[in-house]
Structure 1
Amino acid sequence: MSLVRIEVLDADAGIFALRLDRAPVNALDPALCNALREAVRQAVGDGARGLVLASAHRPDGPAVFSAGLDVPHLLSLGDDRERLRAAWTAFFDAARALASCPVPVAAAINGHAPAGGCVLALCCDYRIMADSPDPTRPLRIGLNETQVGLAVPEGVQHLLQRVVGVNRAERLLVAGEMVDTAQAQRIGLVDEVVPMDRVVPRAHEWLASLLALPQDAMRRTREIARADVGAAMQPARIALDEFLDAWYAPGTQQALQALVARLRR
C-alpha cells in the first residue's frame, strides 16, 4: 500500500488529493518523503490542475497532519552520515516538490503539524487548519526545532517570515514555539480555520475558485508571486552539511534522545 494515496476529488476541475498515510502520525521517514515527491509528480502528470495535501482520515487515531521527521529512525542511523544525509535530503526534496509544484497546492491541515509537518504546509499555496473538536486540547502548528536542539535553516526561516512577518517569525523560531489554530490564523500562519470535517472540502473549494479564473493570467501571476518559495528550498539555503554537523553535536543528541524518551512514555 502506498504511503501517499492519490485521490481524484473533482475530475472535471482536475483537483486531486494527496493523503499522507503512514500510521500513526505520518512521521517523515525517507520512504514517506520519497512517496510524497513521487505523488506530486504523478498527480501533475496525470492531469491535476490543483492539489490538496492532507493526512489520511483515521477516525480512531491521533489528529496529526504530520508529526515531522521520524526522529527515532534518524537516531537509529548512528554515525552513518551518508544515510543521515540521504534521509534529510529526501525530506527537503519532498518539500521542494511542493514549493515548486506547477499547480496550486492547498494544505488541509487536519491535525497537529510540528516541525517538518509545518514545513510541508508552508510550502503550499494556502493553509486551512482544522479546529479541534475538544476546545481544551487545541491543535498546534509551528517550527519547534530549537526545543530539540536543532537550528532552523535559513530557507525554512524565510517560509515562515513571508507569512507572519520577520519580527514575529524571529520570536517563534528562536523559542521553538507551537501555536494553536486560533493564534495561527491571527498571525497569518494559516489562512482559515474550519471544523475537522470541512478541512478537505474547503481546500477543494479554494482550489476550484482559483481554477475558475483565466488560467494563463493566474498561473503566471502565481509563478511570479511564489518564486521566492521555490528559491528558499534550494540546497544553498538549507546548508545541509552545516545542519548535519549540528545534528551530531552532544547537546543536540542529548535533546533528541530526551525527545524520543518522551515519545515512548
Structure 2
Amino acid sequence: MSETPTTLYTLPIAATDGTITVTIPRPQTHPTVYLLTWISPPDNRLLTSFIETFTLALALLRTNHPAGVLITTSSSPKFYSNGLDLNHVHSQNLWWQKVYWPFMKLLLTYPMPTLALINGHAFAGGFITSMCHDYRVMNGTRGFVCMNELDFGAPLIPPLTSIFRNKLSAKTYRSIVLEARRFTGPEALKEDIVDALGGLDEAFKLIDERKLHKKAESGIYSVIRREAWRETYHLVRGDCEEVRDGDAWAQNAVRDSEEEGRAARELAERWTKTQGKAKL
C-alpha cells in the first residue's frame, strides 16, 4: 500500500533559488526514516548558502524529531552534487575551516545512521559528501562517482582524501585519487563504494535488512561514529596530533557531541522564533 509522504520543512537556498526539503516518505510504516532532498540549480554545487541551509535542516530535524535514519538525495535527474565551486571557495576567507570542515564533521558525526541516495553524478565534493554518509545506494543505470581533481589540476588536501582511505580498500583508493576513475553504479558496487543499486525502494530495503532505524536508540551512535572514522574526524575537527589517551579521547568525543546538540537546538530555536512558523 502506497503512503502519502509527510513534509516537515522546506528551506530556501538563497544564492541559487533552490530548496532543501525534509520529508517522512513512509510515515505509517517508517515514521523515523527521514528524506532530505535538495535542489540547487544548475548542478547542486556546495556553496556556502547550500551548506548553511543543510546545516539548519539537520539542526531542526535533530531538535524536533526522534532519531531514526537520514537519507539524502537530489531532485535533479542528473546530479546528486557536482561538488565545490572553486571560484566561490577562493573568494571566501577561511572557507575550508569555517564552512566545509564543519559540514563534513556534521555528516560524519550526525547522531543517526545516514544513507546517501546517489541518483545522478557525484563528482569531487559531491562524492566526498556521499562518502561522509554511513551507507550509499546508487542509481544503477545513470551517473558516475568520481574525484576528478587530477583532471583539472586541484590538490587534494588531507581531509578530502582521508575519508576514502578510512572507508575503502587501498586499491580502490588508488583508483579514486591517482587515476580519477569514473565509477558507474555497478562498478561502484563491485568496489564496495556503494552498498546497493537502485532508488528509494532499495534504500528502504537496506534500512529494513540492517534494522538501521533502531541503531540510534541508545544515544551513543554519534560518539561511536567518531571512533569509526577517527582519522577524518580529527582532521576536520582541527586536531594537530593523534590522540594517545583513549579515556581523554572518549571524553572529548562525548563533550563534542553534547556541544553539537546544544548548538543545533540554539540554531533551531533562533530560526523558529524569527521565521520558522511562517515557513514550516
**Does residue 124 of structure 2 align to residue 115 of structure 1?**
yes
Unaligned runs of 5+ in 2: 1-10, 13-18, 241-280
| TM-score with structure 2 setting the length | 0.68
> Taking structure 1 as reference, are residues 116 and 125 closer, same or farther at Cα in structure 2, changes over 3 Å only?
same
Matches within 5 A, 1:97-108: 97-108=106-117
Determine helix, strand or coil for the equivalent of 1:53. Answer: strand
Separation in 1, partners of 2:48, 2:235: 21
Separation in 1, partners of 2:177, 2:79: 21
> Taking structure 1 as reference, are residues 178 and 234 closer, same or farther at Cα in structure 2, changes over 3 Å only?
farther
**Sequence identity percentage:** 18
**Does residue 24 of structure 2 align to residue 8 of structure 1?**
yes
Separation in 2, partners of 1:74, 1:227: 25
User: Please, which of 117, 121, 128 is the counterpart of residue 137 of structure 2?
Assistant: 128
The one-letter code of the counterpart of 2:101 is: F
> Taking structure 1 as reference, are residues 235 and 172 closer, same or farther at Cα in structure 2, changes over 3 Å only?
same
Contact kept in structure 1, 2:108 and 2:225, CA below 8 Å:
no
Aligned-pair Cα RMSD in Å: 2.7
How far residue 160 of structure 1 moved from its aligned partner, in angstroms, is 0.9
Contact kept in structure 1, 2:111 and 2:219, CA below 8 Å:
no
How far residue 227 of structure 1 moved from its aligned partner, in angstroms, is 4.2
How far residue 19 of structure 1 moved from its aligned partner, in angstroms, is 1.1
Separation in 2, partners of 1:66, 1:37: 16
> Taking structure 1 as reference, are residues 149 and 38 closer, same or farther at Cα in structure 2, changes over 3 Å only?
same
**Does residue 176 of structure 2 align to residue 172 of structure 1?**
yes
User: Please, which of 59, 76, 83 is the counterpart of residue 68 of structure 1?
Assistant: 83
Matches within 5 A, 1:1-265: 2=12, 3-11=19-27, 13-47=31-65, 48-56=67-75, 58=76, 62-74=77-89, 77=91, 83-86=92-95, 89-132=98-141, 138-194=142-198, 199-208=199-208, 209-212=211-214, 215-216=217-218, 219=221, 223=225, 226-228=228-230, 229-236=232-239
Q: Structure 1 stretches (4+) deviating beyond 6 angstroms?
A: none
Separation in 2, partners of 1:45, 1:202: 28
Separation in 2, partners of 1:188, 1:5: 29
Per-residue CA distance 1:130-159 (angstroms, 9 max, x = gap): 122xxxxx4110221222222222222221
> Taking structure 1 as reference, are residues 51 and 236 closer, same or farther at Cα in structure 2, changes over 3 Å only?
same
Aligned equivalent of 1:241: none
Contact kept in structure 2, 1:29 and 1:87, CA below 8 Å:
no
Aligned equivalent of 1:257: none
Unaligned runs of 5+ in 1: 78-82, 133-137, 238-265
Separation in 2, partners of 1:51, 1:87: 25
